[in-house]
Amino acid sequence: MTIAFDYTRSLGPVLGRFMAGLRDGRVLGGRTPDGRVHVPPLEFDPITHEPVTELVPVAPTGTVISWTWNARPLEGQPLDRPFAWALIRLDGADTALLHAVDAGSPSTIRTGTRVRVRWAPTRVGHINDIACFEPGETAAENVAAPESAEPVEIMTTPIRLHYRHTTSDEEDAYLRALADGRLIGQRCPACRKVYVPPRVCPADGVVPGEVVAVADRGTVTTFCVVNVPFAGQRLQPPYVVAQVLLDGADIPIPHLVLGLDAAGVRMGMRVAAVWRDRSEWAFTPENIAHFEPAGEPDAPYETYAEHL
Amino acid sequence: MSDVAVIGFAASDRSVTTSGVETLVPVFEQALDRAGLGRREIDFWCSGSSDYLAGRAFSFVNAVDAIGAVPPIAESHVEMDAAWALYEAYLKILAGEAETALVYGFGKATAGDLHRVLALQLDPYTVAPLWPDAVSVAALQARIGIDAGLFTERDMAEVAARDRGGNAEELLGRPYLSNPLRAHDVARVTDGAAAIVLAGGERASRHRERPAWITGIAHRIDAQGLGERDLTEVPSAAAAARDAGLDHDVDVVALHTPFTHQELLMRRALDIADTARFIGTHGDAMFSAGLSRIGAAAEEIMSGRADRAAAHATSGPALQQNLVCVLGSNPPGSNPPGSNPPGGNQLGGIA
């Protein structure tokens, strides 16, 4: 499972100018009242807590303060071939910047190695405007554009993380039953409620016990009509997502209610599962395509009032 | 204002689901059983965990299922190691808003790529977008220590050999993982959960024959920028130790150091007596490892193996944030000769 999001961050007066500098091919440091030049710049002086306002250019060359060899680059890192991570003190700066060094092999880098900025071919006002550093005594190229007055206001950083979720024993049994065309719940040994899917009882904090077969039909407790389109939507709005209290269960499950006009769905409506063709069944609640009206009289409010 | 003690501890070295619920149920049962308390006798619950580790939003709310929140409970959460949740619960009891608390931490680090996930705790403007992994960041710290002559790769290997067996010479023959770190220098990524039960004053003595009294606890933080501080010094840990009243009179010490060189740095920063016994670990269970160190130190007191113990927890990259907790067999106010340190029971974090 991959979770991804593009973080957009507003930069403020200090980092906005720092990022604009990178875009223009310059590295800027922030000078604090004690005269020290910090790269990257700080927004506030750590000693006096005064805002940092003075940004000064530092050299695109510097010295490796510490390094490590990254033999297996990971997704998102500056280089896709083995490289060194280094803390680099740029000439004119008093603090060190973390970045990648395209050193080729671990034998070409050590503490004290001189390195220079390799600029990205296109620069937008982001830390990745520095493509990486490379061994070298002097600046490789003069890319600096005329100083632009426009600070960068927003930077965008895509974040992508990958997970492999594990089911609990109870979820495992629930999904296996679904693959077999059955719905099961489990009863809390303390409050006797039947949870579908089975879960630790959130009222009592105990592991569920007795396995209980529940019906593939039930009562709509509440519902909403989806009118808003969104990315990845599989149905044409308007359509209904309802909470369906299966017969024999004490907690409703969410599912689609189709087969009638959205305006016809109501609380208390009796509905039945429409299973997909058996050949399509897998370990998923999607084995049930949707619910549709069961053609029974509506359930009285008192029968589901406790489950809203 | 009441003295606060640890009266129960339990931990698990596995996680069932990323939600933590199934893992926490038996851990709560054990910790409460050892504390002699029922679930509904807990006045305040506080946890440490991270949505980034769980890969889902509001994962700590999901985990509340394990408590059984009927009738409603008082609950809080920190996105840090649960040692910091313990600090919050400690304050809650000191402030008189609770007599008992259960603190828990949980995480299933193996559900994702932990060392990439941890890049997201770095500066979001200038560092995190480069995705420096946690092992590489630690390696940069280790090299500065080696270059400064504070320790050698052999010293690091000896720490690993002590905790995991084998001998340093043989370990040094193995390849680098992130030079100068080898595989043995990096704590095993483990899943896990831990819970500690706290009680104040008379409640602690009533439920546990020999509570582990918190005589001092404090936490501090160093600058976030990795290039802004001397990575071989851990001033936040030294300051926390001073405020927590850590001195040379502790019998046993439990440090939370996910890398071998970090133990060497912490020994210097905390000025730990050579006579102190160290409690080793077998992995770094994210968000509960620091709490478990406090639990391990408290067990030494509760079992009678020690009269004074110290625990440390770290959070953030390269030992950025540090908490020190000093525990004793006597309440801080009781002042028996030789056992109550000057500066004990200070609220270092807010004083």
Contact state of A204 with B68 under an 8 Å Cβ cutoff:
yes
Say whether pLDDT at B346 is over 70: no
Instruction: Tell me if B188 sits within 8 A of B282, measured CB to CB.
Output: yes
Region label for B212, one of left (φ > 0), alpha (ψ between -120 and 50) or beta (otherwise):
beta
B-chain CB neighbours of A85 within 8 Å are 132, 136-137, 139-140
What average pLDDT does the segment A67-76 reach?
A: 96
Give the three-class secondary structure for B192: strand
At residue B1, the pLDDT reads 57
Grade residue A141 by pLDDT with cuts at 50, 70 and 90. low
Q: What is the mean pLDDT of chain A?
A: 95
CA distances from A170 to A304, B15, B25, B159 (A): 25, 15, 14, 42
Contact state of A74 with B180 under an 8 Å Cβ cutoff:
no
Tokens of B184: 């043995």
Contact state of A167 with B132 under an 8 Å Cβ cutoff:
no
Q: What is the mean pLDDT of chain B?
A: 92
Contact state of B17 with A168 under an 8 Å Cβ cutoff:
yes
For residue A156, the tally of other CB atoms under 10 A from its CB is: 12
Give the three-class secondary structure for B146: helix
Rg (CA), chain B: 19
Say whether pLDDT at B340 is over 50: no
Q: Where are the alpha helices (DSSP H) in chain A?
A: 12-23, 169-179
Of B70, B108, B127, the CB nearest to A203: B70
Contact state of A203 with B69 under an 8 Å Cβ cutoff:
yes
B-chain CB neighbours of A159 within 8 Å are 120
Size of interface A-B (CB pairs under 8 A): 167
B-chain CB neighbours of A127 within 8 Å are 125-127, 129-130
Vertex A156, ends B132 and B224: CA angle to 5°? 45
At residue B59, the pLDDT reads 85
- Please give, rounded to a whole number of angstroms, the shortest distance from the CA of A205 to a CA of chain B: 4
Say whether pLDDT at A6 is over 80: yes
Say whether pLDDT at A139 is over 90: no
Contact state of A42 with B111 under an 8 Å Cβ cutoff:
no
Contact state of A40 with B225 under an 8 Å Cβ cutoff:
yes
Say whether pLDDT at B256 is over 90: yes
Tokens of A27: 């590295």
- Please give, rounded to a whole number of angstroms, the shortest distance from the CA of A142 to a CA of chain B: 23
**B68 closest CA partner among A190, A204, A200:** A204
Contact state of B140 with A46 under an 8 Å Cβ cutoff:
no
- pLDDT per position as a tens digit, A78-99: 999 999 999 999 999 999 999 9
- Please give, rounded to a whole number of angstroms, the shortest distance from the CA of A296 to a CA of chain B: 35
Grade residue B67 by pLDDT with cuts at 50, 70 and 90. very high
What average pLDDT does the segment A18-22 reach?
A: 96
Indicate which of B125, B156, B236 best probes the interface with A, i.e. most A CBs within 10 Å of its own CB: B125
Q: CATH second-level architecture of A2-162?
A: Beta Barrel (2.40)
Contact state of B143 with A11 under an 8 Å Cβ cutoff:
no
CA distances from B108 to A20, A22, B113 (A): 40, 38, 11
- pLDDT per position as a tens digit, A97-106: 999 999 999 9
What average pLDDT does the segment B264-276 reach?
A: 93
Grade residue B14 by pLDDT with cuts at 50, 70 and 90. confident
Instruction: Tell me if A83 sits within 8 A of A96, measured CB to CB.
Output: no
Picking from A76-85, B132-141, B334-343, which range would have the lowest pLDDT averaged per residue? B334-343
**A200 closest CA partner among B191, B287, B16:** B16
The answer for residues whose C-beta is within 8 angstroms of residue B335's C-beta and 6 or more apart is none
Contact state of A66 with B136 under an 8 Å Cβ cutoff:
no
Grade residue A142 by pLDDT with cuts at 50, 70 and 90. low
Say whether pLDDT at B280 is over 90: no
Contact state of A96 with B231 under an 8 Å Cβ cutoff:
no
Say whether pLDDT at A295 is over 50: yes
Q: Which residue of A has its CA nearest to B176?
A: A69
Sign of CA dihedral B123, B125, B128, B130: negative
- The domain locations on chain A are 2-162, 169-307
Grade residue B341 by pLDDT with cuts at 50, 70 and 90. very low
- pLDDT per position as a tens digit, A267-291: 999 999 999 999 999 999 999 999 9
Contact state of A169 with B22 under an 8 Å Cβ cutoff:
yes
Of A18, A99, A161, the CB nearest to B116: A161
Q: Which residue of B has its CA nearest to A89?
A: B227
Contact state of B131 with A74 under an 8 Å Cβ cutoff:
yes
A-chain CB neighbours of B25 within 8 Å are 200, 205-207
Indicate which of B22, B51, B176, B181 best probes the interface with A, i.e. most A CBs within 10 Å of its own CB: B22
Confidence (pTM): 0.92
For chain B, where are the E strands, in sequence order? 4-12, 44-48, 75-78, 100-107, 176-178, 181-182, 189-190, 192-200, 212-221, 252-254, 277-278, 284-285, 308-315, 321-328
Of B111, B117, B143, the CB nearest to A164: B111
Of B16, B125, B130, the CB nearest to A98: B130
